[in-house]
Amino acid sequence: MMKIDKEISHPIHPLHKLKLEYTEIPFNCDGCKEAGIGLKYKCQQCEFDLHKACAVAPSTSIIHHPFYEKCEFQFHYYPPGAARRICDACRKDVLGFVYHCKRCGFDLHPCCANLPQVLNDGEYSLYLCLKLSSSCHRCGGKGHGWSYRSHCKTYHLHVSCVKELLVENWQAMYLNVDKNKVREMQTRIPSLKGTLKNYHGHGGRGGKVSKCCQIAGGAVRVIVSAILGDPTAIIAAVVGGFISK
Protein backbone atom coordinates (compact mmCIF):
# COMPACT_ATOMS: atom_id res chain seq x y z
CA MET A 1 0.00 0.00 0.00
CA MET A 2 1.30 3.44 -0.94
CA LYS A 3 2.34 5.55 2.04
CA ILE A 4 0.38 8.79 2.45
CA ASP A 5 2.24 11.67 4.09
CA LYS A 6 0.25 13.52 6.74
CA GLU A 7 2.07 16.77 6.00
CA ILE A 8 3.75 18.02 2.83
CA SER A 9 5.34 21.10 1.27
CA HIS A 10 4.13 22.15 -2.16
CA PRO A 11 5.88 24.48 -4.64
CA ILE A 12 2.75 26.46 -5.55
CA HIS A 13 2.11 27.23 -1.88
CA PRO A 14 5.61 27.55 -0.38
CA LEU A 15 4.78 29.69 2.66
CA HIS A 16 3.08 27.02 4.73
CA LYS A 17 2.92 23.26 5.11
CA LEU A 18 -0.18 21.41 3.89
CA LYS A 19 -1.82 18.89 6.19
CA LEU A 20 -3.83 15.88 5.13
CA GLU A 21 -7.43 15.93 6.28
CA TYR A 22 -10.75 14.32 5.47
CA THR A 23 -13.84 16.36 4.64
CA GLU A 24 -17.43 15.58 3.73
CA ILE A 25 -17.96 19.21 2.70
CA PRO A 26 -17.20 19.97 -0.98
CA PHE A 27 -14.16 22.13 -1.66
CA ASN A 28 -12.65 23.79 -4.70
CA CYS A 29 -9.15 22.49 -5.43
CA ASP A 30 -6.65 25.34 -5.82
CA GLY A 31 -4.54 23.16 -8.08
CA CYS A 32 -6.83 21.92 -10.86
CA LYS A 33 -9.70 24.34 -9.96
CA GLU A 34 -12.15 21.41 -9.87
CA ALA A 35 -14.49 20.32 -7.08
CA GLY A 36 -13.40 17.77 -4.51
CA ILE A 37 -14.43 15.83 -1.43
CA GLY A 38 -12.80 13.35 0.93
CA LEU A 39 -9.04 13.38 1.45
CA LYS A 40 -7.33 16.68 0.73
CA TYR A 41 -4.23 18.61 1.67
CA LYS A 42 -5.11 21.88 3.36
CA CYS A 43 -3.18 24.92 4.55
CA GLN A 44 -4.25 25.57 8.14
CA GLN A 45 -3.47 29.28 7.79
CA CYS A 46 -4.88 30.04 4.33
CA GLU A 47 -7.96 29.06 2.37
CA PHE A 48 -5.91 26.71 0.22
CA ASP A 49 -6.88 23.13 -0.65
CA LEU A 50 -5.54 20.46 -2.99
CA HIS A 51 -7.00 17.14 -4.04
CA LYS A 52 -4.76 14.35 -2.81
CA ALA A 53 -4.15 13.41 -6.48
CA CYS A 54 -3.13 16.98 -7.28
CA ALA A 55 -0.95 17.41 -4.21
CA VAL A 56 1.16 14.29 -4.66
CA ALA A 57 1.72 14.56 -8.43
CA PRO A 58 5.38 15.62 -8.95
CA SER A 59 6.19 18.19 -11.63
CA THR A 60 8.29 15.57 -13.43
CA SER A 61 5.47 13.02 -13.40
CA ILE A 62 4.65 11.23 -16.66
CA ILE A 63 1.69 8.86 -16.82
CA HIS A 64 0.11 6.63 -19.43
CA HIS A 65 -3.57 5.92 -19.90
CA PRO A 66 -5.12 2.82 -21.49
CA PHE A 67 -7.42 4.98 -23.67
CA TYR A 68 -4.40 6.67 -25.27
CA GLU A 69 -1.78 3.97 -25.60
CA LYS A 70 0.65 6.07 -27.66
CA CYS A 71 0.49 9.10 -25.37
CA GLU A 72 2.81 10.24 -22.62
CA PHE A 73 1.05 12.65 -20.27
CA GLN A 74 3.35 15.16 -18.58
CA PHE A 75 2.12 16.90 -15.42
CA HIS A 76 1.89 20.71 -15.59
CA TYR A 77 1.01 23.22 -12.89
CA TYR A 78 -0.51 25.51 -15.54
CA PRO A 79 -2.15 24.75 -18.91
CA PRO A 80 0.60 24.76 -21.57
CA GLY A 81 0.43 27.37 -24.32
CA ALA A 82 -1.89 30.32 -24.80
CA ALA A 83 -4.78 28.46 -26.42
CA ARG A 84 -7.83 27.31 -24.48
CA ARG A 85 -7.42 23.71 -23.32
CA ILE A 86 -10.19 21.18 -22.74
CA CYS A 87 -10.03 17.99 -20.68
CA ASP A 88 -10.60 15.10 -23.07
CA ALA A 89 -12.33 13.08 -20.35
CA CYS A 90 -14.96 15.51 -19.09
CA ARG A 91 -14.86 18.15 -21.87
CA LYS A 92 -14.49 20.93 -19.29
CA ASP A 93 -11.97 23.77 -19.37
CA VAL A 94 -8.48 23.12 -18.04
CA LEU A 95 -7.81 26.00 -15.65
CA GLY A 96 -4.97 24.67 -13.52
CA PHE A 97 -3.08 21.42 -12.92
CA VAL A 98 -3.23 19.14 -15.94
CA TYR A 99 -1.71 16.07 -17.56
CA HIS A 100 -0.83 17.02 -21.15
CA CYS A 101 0.45 14.94 -24.07
CA LYS A 102 2.66 17.22 -26.13
CA ARG A 103 2.71 14.93 -29.15
CA CYS A 104 -1.04 14.36 -29.44
CA GLY A 105 -2.39 17.44 -27.68
CA PHE A 106 -4.64 15.52 -25.27
CA ASP A 107 -5.33 16.94 -21.80
CA LEU A 108 -6.65 15.33 -18.62
CA HIS A 109 -7.59 16.85 -15.27
CA PRO A 110 -5.66 14.95 -12.55
CA CYS A 111 -8.86 13.52 -11.05
CA CYS A 112 -10.10 12.50 -14.51
CA ALA A 113 -6.77 10.85 -15.27
CA ASN A 114 -7.20 8.83 -12.08
CA LEU A 115 -10.79 7.72 -12.68
CA PRO A 116 -11.00 3.95 -12.04
CA GLN A 117 -11.62 1.72 -15.04
CA VAL A 118 -14.20 -0.17 -12.99
CA LEU A 119 -16.43 1.18 -10.21
CA ASN A 120 -18.49 -1.04 -7.97
CA ASP A 121 -21.23 0.07 -5.57
CA GLY A 122 -21.40 -3.35 -3.92
CA GLU A 123 -24.06 -4.66 -6.28
CA TYR A 124 -23.38 -3.29 -9.75
CA SER A 125 -20.18 -2.76 -11.69
CA LEU A 126 -19.69 0.29 -13.89
CA TYR A 127 -17.11 0.45 -16.66
CA LEU A 128 -15.26 3.53 -17.88
CA CYS A 129 -15.65 3.99 -21.65
CA LEU A 130 -13.88 6.28 -24.10
CA LYS A 131 -17.04 6.66 -26.20
CA LEU A 132 -20.75 6.14 -25.62
CA SER A 133 -22.41 3.22 -27.34
CA SER A 134 -25.88 4.40 -26.29
CA SER A 135 -27.54 7.62 -25.15
CA CYS A 136 -26.51 9.23 -21.88
CA HIS A 137 -29.27 9.00 -19.28
CA ARG A 138 -28.65 12.59 -18.22
CA CYS A 139 -28.49 14.52 -21.51
CA GLY A 140 -29.91 11.94 -23.91
CA GLY A 141 -27.00 12.44 -26.29
CA LYS A 142 -23.86 10.65 -27.42
CA GLY A 143 -21.50 13.63 -27.30
CA HIS A 144 -17.74 13.49 -26.86
CA GLY A 145 -16.12 12.64 -23.57
CA TRP A 146 -15.78 9.63 -21.31
CA SER A 147 -18.69 7.86 -19.69
CA TYR A 148 -19.52 5.04 -17.31
CA ARG A 149 -21.81 2.24 -18.39
CA SER A 150 -23.42 -0.64 -16.56
CA HIS A 151 -22.46 -4.26 -17.23
CA CYS A 152 -25.78 -4.80 -19.02
CA LYS A 153 -25.01 -1.77 -21.23
CA THR A 154 -28.42 -0.17 -20.55
CA TYR A 155 -27.22 2.56 -18.23
CA HIS A 156 -24.79 5.23 -19.48
CA LEU A 157 -23.72 8.51 -17.92
CA HIS A 158 -21.25 11.07 -19.23
CA VAL A 159 -18.53 12.10 -16.82
CA SER A 160 -19.24 15.64 -18.04
CA CYS A 161 -22.94 15.38 -17.19
CA VAL A 162 -22.20 14.42 -13.61
CA LYS A 163 -19.87 17.41 -13.35
CA GLU A 164 -22.58 19.70 -14.71
CA LEU A 165 -24.98 18.47 -12.04
CA LEU A 166 -22.40 19.16 -9.36
CA VAL A 167 -21.61 22.63 -10.66
CA GLU A 168 -25.26 23.63 -11.02
CA ASN A 169 -25.98 22.70 -7.42
CA TRP A 170 -22.77 23.97 -5.84
CA GLN A 171 -22.85 27.34 -7.57
CA ALA A 172 -26.19 27.94 -5.90
CA MET A 173 -25.52 26.20 -2.59
CA TYR A 174 -21.80 26.31 -1.97
CA LEU A 175 -19.34 28.10 -4.18
CA ASN A 176 -21.16 31.46 -4.21
CA VAL A 177 -22.45 31.27 -0.66
CA ASP A 178 -20.72 32.15 2.59
CA LYS A 179 -19.00 28.96 3.80
CA ASN A 180 -20.31 29.34 7.35
CA LYS A 181 -23.86 29.45 6.02
CA VAL A 182 -23.15 26.38 3.95
CA ARG A 183 -22.01 24.48 7.00
CA GLU A 184 -25.11 25.61 8.86
CA MET A 185 -27.26 24.28 6.03
CA GLN A 186 -25.14 21.10 5.98
CA THR A 187 -24.97 21.34 2.22
CA ARG A 188 -22.37 18.71 1.53
CA ILE A 189 -23.55 17.02 -1.63
CA PRO A 190 -25.99 18.30 -4.26
CA SER A 191 -29.17 16.33 -4.75
CA LEU A 192 -29.16 14.33 -7.95
CA LYS A 193 -32.64 12.98 -7.36
CA GLY A 194 -34.69 12.94 -10.54
CA THR A 195 -31.80 12.54 -12.96
CA LEU A 196 -33.24 9.37 -14.47
CA LYS A 197 -36.83 10.36 -13.82
CA ASN A 198 -36.43 13.40 -16.06
CA TYR A 199 -34.80 11.35 -18.78
CA HIS A 200 -37.46 8.64 -18.77
CA GLY A 201 -40.15 11.30 -18.78
CA HIS A 202 -39.13 11.97 -22.37
CA GLY A 203 -39.86 8.59 -23.86
CA GLY A 204 -39.30 5.90 -21.23
CA ARG A 205 -39.29 2.23 -22.11
CA GLY A 206 -41.74 0.56 -19.77
CA GLY A 207 -40.27 -2.37 -17.89
CA LYS A 208 -36.68 -1.34 -18.50
CA VAL A 209 -37.22 1.91 -16.61
CA SER A 210 -37.51 0.40 -13.13
CA LYS A 211 -34.45 -1.79 -13.66
CA CYS A 212 -32.48 1.16 -14.95
CA CYS A 213 -33.53 3.34 -12.02
CA GLN A 214 -32.45 0.62 -9.59
CA ILE A 215 -28.97 0.92 -11.00
CA ALA A 216 -29.11 4.72 -11.08
CA GLY A 217 -28.77 5.38 -7.37
CA GLY A 218 -25.64 3.31 -6.91
CA ALA A 219 -24.22 4.36 -10.28
CA VAL A 220 -24.45 8.09 -9.72
CA ARG A 221 -23.18 7.69 -6.16
CA VAL A 222 -19.94 5.94 -7.09
CA ILE A 223 -19.36 8.05 -10.23
CA VAL A 224 -19.70 11.27 -8.24
CA SER A 225 -17.31 9.90 -5.63
CA ALA A 226 -14.71 9.05 -8.26
CA ILE A 227 -15.00 12.40 -10.06
CA LEU A 228 -14.53 14.27 -6.79
CA GLY A 229 -11.20 12.56 -6.33
CA ASP A 230 -12.03 9.97 -3.67
CA PRO A 231 -13.69 6.81 -5.06
CA THR A 232 -13.85 5.01 -1.73
CA ALA A 233 -16.63 3.13 -0.01
CA ILE A 234 -16.73 5.72 2.81
CA ILE A 235 -17.20 8.66 0.47
CA ALA A 236 -19.67 6.71 -1.68
CA ALA A 237 -21.79 6.19 1.43
CA VAL A 238 -21.65 9.89 2.27
CA VAL A 239 -22.60 10.88 -1.27
CA GLY A 240 -25.34 8.30 -1.34
CA GLY A 241 -26.91 9.68 1.80
CA PHE A 242 -27.34 13.10 0.26
CA ILE A 243 -28.35 11.90 -3.19
CA SER A 244 -31.26 10.02 -1.64
CA LYS A 245 -32.63 13.16 0.02
Share of the chain above pLDDT 90, in %: 33
For residues 90 and 159, the answer to whether their CB atoms sit within 8 Å is yes
C-alpha distances out from residue 132 to 11, 25, 107, 129, 143, Å: 39, 31, 19, 7, 8
Q: Residue 53 — φ and ψ, nearest 5°?
A: -65, -35
pLDDT at 22 over 50: yes
Locate all alpha helices (DSSP H) within the chain, ordered by sequence: 52-55, 110-113, 159-170, 179-185, 195-200, 207-227, 233-243
How many CA atoms does the CB half-sphere of 230 hold within 13 Å?
25
| Strand 68-76 relative to strand 156-158, pairing | unpaired
H or E stretch covering 108: strand 107-108
Q: Residue 223 — φ and ψ, nearest 5°?
A: -65, -45
d(CA 169, CA 193): 12
C-alpha distances out from residue 114 to 54, 62, 139, 196, 200, Å: 10, 13, 24, 26, 31
Look at residue 123 in the predicted model and tell me its pLDDT.
Answer: 67
Report which DSSP code applies to 93: B
pLDDT in tens, 125-184: 788 999 888 888 878 888 789 988 888 787 888 888 877 766 666 555 544 545 554 443
Look at residue 23 in the predicted model and tell me its pLDDT.
Answer: 84
Look at residue 172 in the predicted model and tell me its pLDDT.
Answer: 54
Look at residue 209 in the predicted model and tell me its pLDDT.
Answer: 41
Residue 14, Cβ neighbours under 10 Å: how many?
8
d(CA 35, CA 99): 17
- pTM, two decimal places: 0.74
d(CA 231, CA 53): 12
Look at residue 239 in the predicted model and tell me its pLDDT.
Answer: 47
pLDDT at 204 over 50: no
pLDDT at 206 over 70: no
pLDDT at 29 over 80: yes
Look at residue 188 in the predicted model and tell me its pLDDT.
Answer: 35
Residue 101 confidence class, pLDDT cut points 50, 70, 90: very high
| Strand 35-43 relative to strand 48-51, pairing | antiparallel
pLDDT in tens, 180-191: 544 433 333 333
Residue 179, Cβ neighbours under 10 Å: how many?
12
pLDDT in tens, 64-97: 999 999 999 999 999 998 899 999 999 999 999 9
The better pLDDT of the pair 78, 228 is held by 78
If you write DSSP's letter for every residue of 162-200 in order, what string do you get? HHHHHHHHHIIIIITS-HHHHHHHT--S---TTHHHHHH
Look at residue 32 in the predicted model and tell me its pLDDT.
Answer: 94
